């Protein structure tokens, strides 16, 4: 597609439930990132995929968080046993290969509210 | 831990004035520097990138980089109310990958 596509755009879930957030990167982009932004805060890095390399998971806050990227394209971020502190907007971004000058483009985000 | 620091603001400037936004970073190995603008409820959009010491101008925007002092700034000339947004500084290290580390953002308010 023309831009990074994320779904759902909004999700309200009960505490303890699992949620899945989907990201479809820009066609041809081999790098894909997940960031989290809590209300009024900056962007917190979660995980990064580059081609077929092992993902950089160093930003995942707990083992309740996991992400997959199938076929080098679509990615799914899964949050198990959601907690209220997981409420945030989850931003996906993509770029061309790992070269320092490549621009990263963001999707519109998935707004997660845990009640 | 790599850190990118910004004053959270709000920075309030009158319409037509110059807005100056500053950012410092901790990792001396950083090679690429970016300014993103984020309107409330929207995703960040790239407005400037800079890789070399000095100034880079693009329309009303000028990015300034000083690697020795580890700071990068963004100047917005002739500020407009439509420039009111949060400005995020992002830094990428040169070797290990393509990950961006973001600052907390500075909220800019341009008053008519």
Contact B99 A33 (CB under 8 A): yes
Contact A99 B98 (CB under 8 A): yes
pLDDT (0 to 100) of residue A21: 98
- Strand spans (E) along A39-115: 43-50, 65-69, 75-79, 88-95, 105-106, 110-114
Q: Please tell me the distance from the alpha carbon of residue A6 to that of residue B39, in angstroms, as a whole number.
A: 18
Region of poorest pLDDT, from A15-19, A23-27, A54-58: A54-58
Which phi and psi (to 5°) does residue B61 adopt?
-100, 135
- Euclidean distance between the first and the last CA atom of chain A, given in angstroms as a whole number: 33
Count of other CB atoms within 10 angstroms of residue B45: 13
Q: Is the Cβ–Cβ distance between A4 and A28 less than 8 Å?
A: no
pLDDT of A100 > 60? The answer is no
Contact A100 B31 (CB under 8 A): yes
Residues of B in contact with A31 (CB under 8 A): 98
DSSP code for A63:
T
Residues of B in contact with A99 (CB under 8 A): 98
Count of all residues that appear for chain B in the document: 112
Interface of B with A (CB under 8 A): 6, 31-32, 34, 42-46, 49, 51, 88, 90, 92, 94, 97-105
Region of poorest pLDDT, from A35-49, B49-63, B71-85: A35-49
Q: Residue B8: which residues within 8 A CB-CB, separation 6 or more?
A: B104, B105, B106, B107
- Residue range B50-75: mean pLDDT, rounded: 95
Confidence of residue B1 (pLDDT cuts 50, 70, 90): low
The answer, for A25 touching chain B at a CB cutoff of 8 Å, is no
Q: Is the Cβ–Cβ distance between B81 and B110 less than 8 Å?
A: yes
- DSSP, collapsed to helix, strand or coil, labels residue B82 as helix
Region of poorest pLDDT, from A71-85, B45-59, B84-98: B84-98
């Amino acid at each position: 597609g023309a831009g990074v596509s994320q779904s759902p755009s909004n999700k309200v879930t009960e505490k303890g439930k699992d949620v899945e957030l989907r990201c479809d990167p820009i066609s041809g982009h081999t790098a894909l990132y997940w960031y989290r932004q809590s209300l009024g805060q900056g962007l917190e890095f979660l995980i990064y995929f580059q081609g077929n390399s092992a993902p950089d998971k160093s930003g995942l806050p707990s083992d309740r968080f996991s992400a997959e990227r199938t076929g080098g394209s679509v990615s799914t971020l899964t949050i198990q046993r959601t907690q209220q502190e997981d409420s945030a907007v989850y931003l996906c971004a993509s770029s061309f290969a790992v070269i320092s000058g490549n621009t990263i483009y963001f999707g519109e985000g998935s707004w997660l509210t845990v009640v | 831990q790599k850190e990118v620091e910004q004053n959270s603001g709000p920075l309030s400037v009158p319409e037509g004035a110059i807005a100056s936004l500053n950012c410092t970073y901790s990792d001396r190995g950083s090679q690429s520097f970016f300014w993103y603008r984020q309107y409330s409820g929207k995703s960040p959009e790239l407005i400037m990138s800079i890789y070399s010491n000095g100034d880079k101008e693009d329309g009303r925007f000028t990015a300034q980089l000083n690697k020795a002092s580890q700071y990068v700034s963004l100047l917005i000339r002739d500020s407009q109310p439509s420039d009111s947004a949060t400005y995020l500084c992002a830094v990428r290290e040169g070797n290990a990958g393509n990950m961006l580390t973001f600052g907390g953002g500075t909220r800019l308010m341009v008053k008519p």
